């Protein structure tokens, strides 16, 4: 197997250096570039990179925006997110941007290595503990992040007017968005929408 040419994007120098040393001990992985910010990453990225292992929370920009920019220039590069997020909504959004692997920063090194290898081979990697069924349900439902937020707020028992105020939208806009959610879930009431969303694991 050819060595997987890997780029590290991580703003914490100590963590990045430690990870680099561990990766370089692997026979099938070679670290060819590293960066600590979005700007530095864009300056160092090249077609020679196979897989990018990156922190999503970077100091000078949104890591998902960076993924989108890189995918535009180098669509063949695979992306693995090092993240502290385990929110399925965030994971779904990252998948839509082109991220194929998700590993928490507290993971064992073997999990990180597996994510790199599996994404390089064309697969995807969701670390143990993430509910993949929930992600599929989210994708199938067609609900957006804002839709989920609205549904979650409805479980609080507050009035529609109170929730609209919290979301900084008018009551008419709230009701329009609610009708759109009903249409996506093929239901006719708030009770039905919440029942389906809870059953599918979309909200808690």
Whole-model pTM: value is 0.66
What is the DSSP pairing of strand 125-126 with strand 101-104? Answer: parallel
- The pLDDT value given to residue 136: 59
- The pLDDT value given to residue 131: 56
pLDDT in tens, the chain (204 residues): 689 999 999 999 999 999 999 999 999 999 999 999 999 999 999 999 999 999 988 889 888 899 999 999 999 999 999 877 666 667 777 888 889 888 888 888 998 999 999 999 988 887 765 555 556 566 666 777 788 889 888 988 889 999 999 888 999 999 999 999 999 888 889 998 898 888 777 776
β-strand partners of 34:
8
- The pLDDT value given to residue 85: 63
């Amino acid at each position: 197997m050819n060595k997987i040419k890997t780029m590290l994007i991580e703003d914490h120098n100590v963590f990045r250096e430690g990870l680099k040393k561990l990766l370089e001990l692997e026979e099938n992985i070679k670290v060819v570039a590293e960066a600590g910010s979005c700007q530095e990453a864009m300056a160092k990225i090249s077609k020679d990179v196979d897989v990018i292992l990156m922190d999503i929370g970077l100091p000078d920009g949104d890591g998902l925006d960076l993924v989108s920019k890189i995918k535009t220039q180098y669509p063949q590069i695979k992306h693995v997110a090092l993240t502290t997020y385990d929110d399925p909504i965030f994971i779904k959004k990252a998948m839509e941007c082109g991220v194929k692997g998700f590993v928490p920063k507290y993971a064992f090194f073997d999990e990180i290595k597996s994510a790199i290898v599996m994404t390089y081979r064309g697969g995807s990697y969701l670390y143990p503990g993430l509910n993949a069924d929930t992600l599929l349900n989210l994708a199938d439902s067609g609900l957006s992040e804002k839709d989920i937020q609205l549904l979650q707020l409805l479980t609080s028992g507050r009035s529609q007017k109170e929730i609209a105020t919290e979301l900084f939208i008018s009551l008419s806009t709230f009701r329009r968005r609610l009708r759109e959610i009903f249409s996506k879930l093929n239901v006719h009431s708030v009770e039905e929408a919440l029942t389906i969303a809870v059953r599918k694991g979309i909200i808690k």
